[in-house]
């Protein structure tokens, strides 16, 4: 109905005229109102009048198109990326990839530069020289000359032959005029009594470090010897020294109070004693064959000074010492280094690390002439190498295996053991191999606790740490060495350089704070070509940084990496290998760079806290 009505109405009304008009004119016409025209519009009008409207339109158009491409990016160089009519997306992608690579490279460069700066700031500014030499500005240019020469036919060989031998034995050398490697002890022209002494010990063929090291030392050269633990480096510095002393004694016998001619410094008393015993063995071989007597003495804490003095008074050829006792004897003028021409620092980096740096510098100041200097260690980070170079004359660096690498003869097992479960699990762990077994712990209390527990369980164990007196320490080490005791529990005093025969298993009751110590500890097994096992307990209490170092060490040594270590990732892992040598250039850890080195940070913190303390102490001292 309504529909009909409306249609009627439509027919009644005159048709409405339809027309278009714009809003402005509509409002103008309707309300007679002139609205506000924005300044922008008015300016546009004005400009159009001036004939610039077309230009403006173009600009507007450009603006519009860029806002349409909301995802287009403007990079740091002000370049716009995105849909472009003239460059294909593929080309743009390639271009962007190149830019990203360049950026990555510069990040690497930045990292390297930063590292260089850090290394420079921690590098030793003071040369490792005696004060008199420093004061007089004495610099030795040429190595010491000796009467030893390699056999003629070896000298006649072309250098390529020597290089090939080094390649076969994986010996890396650096330095000027490196003496040729020599494959047998006989060709090294050692005394026949020494040769038979070596044979009696079952030492028939020189090990790689000996092949290159012994001729180099015999030729009078300074060396930095880097070889994994148990590789036979002790003989490299002992045998040539005995030969030199024999030559000296034959030419001009040592008189009362003369000597020592050679000085060997070790970081621990046990290592010094062990080295001394080896020297004595070869000297006795010589005397037994009718050669002149070569006298040696041991100067370590815990042993009466009178014992060393007795030998010194008779004229001493070789002295083996720890830094503390040696300093004491030098200060008291009990011993002089005026005829000393041969200095060897065994486990040199540990010595510097353990804070003996100033002592070593002081010891250097007691020398009166040029000496042949030898530095040996299994771990030798760059900082120490740089530091050492200042003390050496045209040194030859001999590297057998990466500095800081673990012996490949050790099977390394890492197990997650909760703190409270450790001691019980230890017993289970002991079932892995027959004795002898070495157990390491960081703290003296832990060593005592483990020792007590094992004794209660009926295990034949002995223990050593810095808190025990020297007599007890020596007795325990001897009992373990002779096989009277099955087990030795120790702190790191026993981790450096000590050579116990046939250790089957090294158990790290805890992971040391420093991965270098780990390398030294596990190096007590798998020695001289034999294999051994090392088990290490780790848990949440361990610092992540050292665990990362451990992870990368295991990867390097092609060992099994347990899942909890494999999962561990560091933020800076992409920077671990920048092609400049891997890992940290300060401590040698493989799991971090120098920029994240916890050891360096600890040292710097200590130095920082010492600044205040020293002032405080100084002011206190002034009061007294």
Q: How far is the CB of 230 from ligand AMP (least distance, A)?
A: 5
Indicate the length of the chain as a whole number.
624
The rounded distance, in Å, linking the Cα atoms of 566 and 110 is 28
- Measure the CA–CA gap between 37 and 40, rounded to whole angstroms: 8
* Smallest separation (angstroms) from ligand AMP to the CB of 345: 15
H-run or E-run covering 400: strand 396-400
The β-bridge relationship of strands 396-400 and 223-227 is parallel
Q: Give the nearer residue to ligand AMP in terms of CB position, either 274 or 508.
A: 274
Question: CA-to-CA distance for 356 and 528, rounded, in angstroms?
Answer: 29
Q: Could you tell me the smallest distance in angstroms from the CB atom of residue 235 to ligand AMP?
A: 5
- Shortest Å, Cβ 202 to ligand AMP: 6
Provide the phi-psi class of 32: left if phi over 0, else alpha when psi is between -120 and 50, else beta.
left
Note whether 511 and 536 are within 8 A (CB): yes
- Phi/psi for 577 (5° steps) reads -120, 100
Distance CA 105, CA 362 (A): 45
Beta strands in 136-232 (DSSP E): 171-174, 223-227
Select 238 or 454, whichever has its Cβ closest to ligand AMP. Answer: 238
CB of 162 to ligand AMP, least distance (A): 19
DSSP 4-45: HHHHHHHHHSPPPPP----HHHHHHHHH---PPPPHHHHHHH
Residue 499 CB, nearest approach to ligand AMP (Å) = 4
Q: In terms of DSSP H, where are the helices of 79-182?
A: 89-122, 131-136, 152-156, 159-168
Provide, rounded to whole angstroms, the least separation between the CB of residue 266 and ligand AMP.
12
Q: Least distance (Å) from ligand AMP to the CB of residue 277? A: 11
Residue number, 210 or 308, with CB nearest to ligand AMP: 210
DSSP string, 436-487: PEEEE-SSHHHHHHHHHHHHHTT--EEEE-TTS-HHHHHHHHHHHHTTSSSE
Q: How far is the C-alpha of 192 from the C-alpha of 196, rounded, in Å?
A: 6
Considering beta carbons, is residue 278 or 578 the nearer one to ligand AMP? 278
Helix axes 89-122, 382-389, angle to 10 degrees: 50
d(CA 596, CA 548): 12
The angle, 0 to 180 degrees and rounded to 10, between the axes of the packed helices 422-429 and 444-456 is: 60
Q: Which of residues 130 and 232 has its CB atom nearest to ligand AMP in the complex?
A: 232
Cβ distance to ligand AMP smaller for residue 210 or 545: 210
Torsion, Cα of 500, 457, 475, 282 (10° steps)? -20
CB 512 → ligand AMP: shortest distance, Å? 20
| Residue nearest ligand AMP (C-beta atom) | 232
CB-wise, 53 or 203, nearer to ligand AMP? Answer: 203
Contact positions toward ligand AMP, by CB under 6 A?
201, 203, 205-207, 210, 230-235, 499, 527-528
Measure the CA–CA gap between 424 and 62, rounded to whole angstroms: 78
User: Cβ of residue 581: shortest distance to ligand AMP, in angstroms?
Assistant: 24
Strands (E) located in 410-530: 410-416, 437-440, 461-464, 487-490, 505-508
216 and 397 in contact (C-beta within 8 Å)?
Answer: no
Q: Minimum CB separation from ligand AMP for residue 395, in Å?
A: 20
Please, how many CA atoms are within 13 Å of residue 306, restricted to the half-sphere of its CB? 1
CB of 281 to ligand AMP, least distance (A): 10
Q: What Rg, from alpha-carbon coordinates, does the chain have? A: 38
Distance CA 228, CA 537 (A): 23
Q: Is the CB of 83 or the CB of 200 nearer to ligand AMP?
A: 200
Residue 182 vs 210, nearer CB to ligand AMP: 210
Closest to ligand AMP by CB, 130 or 401: 401
Identity of the residue, 203 or 555, whose beta carbon is nearer to ligand AMP in the bound complex: 203
Q: Answer for the pair 586, 383: CB distance below 8 angstroms, yes or no.
A: yes
CB of 601 to ligand AMP, least distance (A): 32
Cβ-in-10-Å burial (0-12, 13-18, 19+) of 572 comes to middle
Given the complex with ligand AMP, which of 201 and 443 has the nearer CB atom? 201
Query: Judged by CB, which is closer to ligand AMP: 48, or 504?
Result: 504
């Amino acid at each position: 109905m309504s529909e009909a009505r409306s249609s009627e109405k439509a027919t009644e009304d005159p048709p409405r005229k339809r027309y278009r008009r714009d809003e402005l004119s509509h409002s103008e016409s309707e309300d007679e109102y002139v609205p506000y025209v924005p300044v922008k519009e008015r300016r546009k009008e004005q400009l159009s009048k001036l004939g610039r409207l077309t230009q403006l339109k173009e600009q507007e158009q450009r603006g519009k198109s860029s806002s349409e491409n909301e995802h287009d990016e403007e990079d740091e160089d002000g370049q716009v990326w995105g849909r472009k009519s003239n460059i294909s997306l593929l080309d743009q992608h390639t271009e962007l990839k190149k830019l990203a690579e360049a950026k990555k490279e510069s990040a690497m460069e930045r990292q390297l530069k930063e590292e260089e700066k850090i290394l420079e700031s921690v590098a030793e500014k003071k040369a490792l020289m005696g004060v008199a030499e420093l004061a007089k500005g004495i610099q030795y240019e040429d190595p010491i000359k000796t009467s030893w020469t390699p056999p003629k036919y070896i000298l006649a060989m072309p250098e390529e032959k020597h290089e090939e031998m080094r390649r076969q034995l994986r010996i890396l050398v650096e330095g000027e005029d490196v003496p040729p490697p020599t494959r047998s002890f006989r060709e090294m022209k050692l005394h026949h009594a020494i040769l038979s002494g070596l044979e009696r010990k079952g030492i028939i063929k020189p090990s790689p470090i000996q092949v290159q090291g012994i001729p180099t030392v015999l030729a009078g050269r300074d060396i930095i010897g880097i070889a994994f633990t148990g590789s036979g480096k002790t003989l490299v510095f002992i045998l040539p020294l005995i030969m030199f002393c024999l030559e000296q004694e034959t030419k001009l016998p040592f008189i009362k109070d003369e000597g020592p001619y050679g000085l060997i410094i070790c970081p621990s008393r046990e290592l010094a004693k062990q080295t001394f015993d080896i020297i004595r063995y070869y000297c006795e071989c010589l005397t037994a064959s009718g050669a002149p007597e070569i006298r040696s003495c041991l100067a370590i804490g815990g042993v009466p000074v009178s014992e060393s003095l007795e030998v010194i008074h008779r004229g001493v050829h070789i002295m083996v010492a720890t830094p503390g006792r040696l300093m004491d004897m030098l200060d008291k003028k009990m011993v002089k280094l005026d005829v000393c021409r041969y200095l060897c620092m065994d486990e040199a980096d540990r010595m510097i690390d353990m804070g003996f740096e100033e002592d070593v510098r002081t010891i250097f100041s007691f020398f009166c002439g040029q000496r042949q200097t030898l530095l040996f260690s299994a771990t030798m980070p760059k900082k120490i190498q740089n530091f050492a170079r200042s003390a050496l004359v045209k040194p030859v660096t001999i590297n057998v295996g990466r500095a800081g690498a673990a012996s490949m003869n050790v099977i390394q097992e890492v197990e997650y053991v909760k703190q409270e479960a450790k001691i019980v699990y230890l017993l289970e762990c002991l079932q892995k191999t027959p004795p002898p077994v070495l157990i390491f712990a960081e703290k003296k209390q832990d060593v005592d606790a483990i020792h007590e527990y094992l004794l209660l369980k009926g295990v034949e164990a002995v223990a050593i740490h810095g808190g025990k007196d020297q007599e007890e320490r020596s007795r325990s080490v001897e009992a373990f060495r002779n096989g009277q005791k099955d087990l030795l529990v120790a702190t790191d005093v026993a981790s450096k350089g000590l050579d116990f025969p046939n250790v089957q298993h090294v158990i790290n009751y805890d992971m040391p704070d420093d991965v270098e110590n780990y390398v030294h500890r596990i190096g007590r097994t798998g020695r001289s070509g034999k294999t051994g096992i090392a088990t290490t307990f780790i848990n949440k209490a361990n610092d992540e940084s050292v665990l990362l170092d451990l992870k990368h060490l295991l990867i390097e040594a092609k060992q099994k990496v347990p899942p909890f270590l494999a999962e561990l990732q560091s933020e800076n892992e992409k920077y671990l290998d920048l092609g400049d040598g891997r890992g940290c250039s300060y401590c040698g850890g493989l799991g971090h760079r120098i920029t994240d080195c916890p050891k360096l940070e600890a040292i710097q913190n200590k130095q920082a806290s010492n600044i205040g303390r020293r002032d405080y102490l100084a002011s206190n001292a002034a009061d007294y």
